Amino acid sequence: MKNKIKEQVKEMSKVRIIGNDVPEMPWQERPAENRTNLPLWRYRENPIIGRNPVEGVARIFNSAVIPYEGAYIGVFRGEQTNGISFIYLGRSKDGIHWDFEKDKIRFVDEEGNEFMPRYAYDPRLVKLEDTYYIIWCQDFYGAAPIETSEGWLLFYHGVSGTCNGYVYSIGGAILDIDNPSVVKYRCETFLMTPEEWYEERGFVPNVTFPCATIEDAASGRIAIYYGAADSYVGLAFTRIDEVVSYIKEHSVLTEEDTETGKR
Ligand code: BMA
């Protein structure tokens, strides 16, 4: 009993996630052998979505998920075999194994008339009060930010140019809670960079592209869904305390970061 309480205390985080408890969320502990001091670690069975997941869809990647009615639902970027991306609905009991609808999501406009863009990619999914919003194709930097007692925690992609093409890594920042255009902390180093075969090899090599998180406020656990090499979906984990301390310890701000405004 004493040990159990100790365990629970250990699980409770100092930085608070302001959100719901999702006790059954996907989770694996950090592997004992860890070659870096980075605060993110990968799901051992990655990638969670492989090639040709749906008839007529060659690859699913850069996709967003959310807890829904005791399970999970998601909007997935499916690159069709004609090369055109569209958004597909997926459902999952555990947030890891996904079943996709064969047909694309059918959108309607405000009058209820069919509204089908020709092309839609990199969807994000957010719930605001009782409405679920699907957003796509805008120049988003990352996953929808997580509300915390330190500010908005943002996982975003950062791009470096090499003589052999771009490399997309996962970065982290904390934005002011009242004025999110003000950056409080921005991690100078990446939190994760392409290292595994499914990140380094694919339709577009060297891409890790975060699009969504699931988090459990009670334990401080965070799962990050990211597109890998424009070919797969990967899952990575962290804990709120660990990632916030890392970002703060490695924060370097420019003057612009601390100014109100668009960047
Ligand atoms: C970006 C977007 C992403 C893509 C990435 C790497 O500009 O188009 O959809 O994952 O490039 O190809």
pLDDT tens readout for residues 236-246 = 999 999 999 99
In the three-class reduction of DSSP (H, G, I as helix; E, B as strand; rest coil), residue 241 is classed as helix
DSSP tag of 258: G
Ligand 1 atom with the smallest distance to the CA of 203 is 12
Distance CA 156, CA 12 (A): 26
Residues 6 or more apart in contact with residue 179 via CB below 8 angstroms: 260
- pLDDT (0 to 100) of residue 260: 84
Distance 252 CA to ligand 1 centre (A): 26
Encoding tokens for residue 40?
A: 């993110």
Measured from CB, residues less than 6 Å from any atom of ligand 1 are 62, 121-122, 168, 204, 207, 209, 227, 230
| Residue with CA nearest ligand 1 atom 9 | 122
- pLDDT (0 to 100) of residue 28: 98
Distance 24 CA to ligand 1 centre (A): 31
Residue-level pLDDT, tens digit, the chain, 263 residues: 455 555 555 556 799 999 999 999 999 999 998 788 999 999 999 999 999 999 999 999 999 999 999 999 999 999 999 999 999 999 999 999 999 999 999 999 999 999 999 899 999 999 999 999 999 988 678 999 999 999 999 999 999 999 999 999 999 999 999 999 999 999 999 999 999 999 999 999 999 999 999 999 999 999 999 999 999 999 999 999 999 999 999 999 988 888 887 65
Distance 135 CA to ligand 1 centre (A): 16
Largest Cα separation within the chain, whole Å, is 60
> Nearest to residue 98, comparing CAs of 77, 79, 117?
77
Cis peptide before 31 (omega within 30 of 0): no
In the three-class reduction of DSSP (H, G, I as helix; E, B as strand; rest coil), residue 118 is classed as coil
Report CA 74 to chain centroid distance, whole Å: 12
Ligand 1 atom with the smallest distance to the CA of 121 is 9
Residues 6 or more apart in contact with residue 90 via CB below 8 angstroms: 63, 65, 73, 74, 75, 76, 98, 99, 100, 101
Distance 218 CA to ligand 1 centre (A): 34
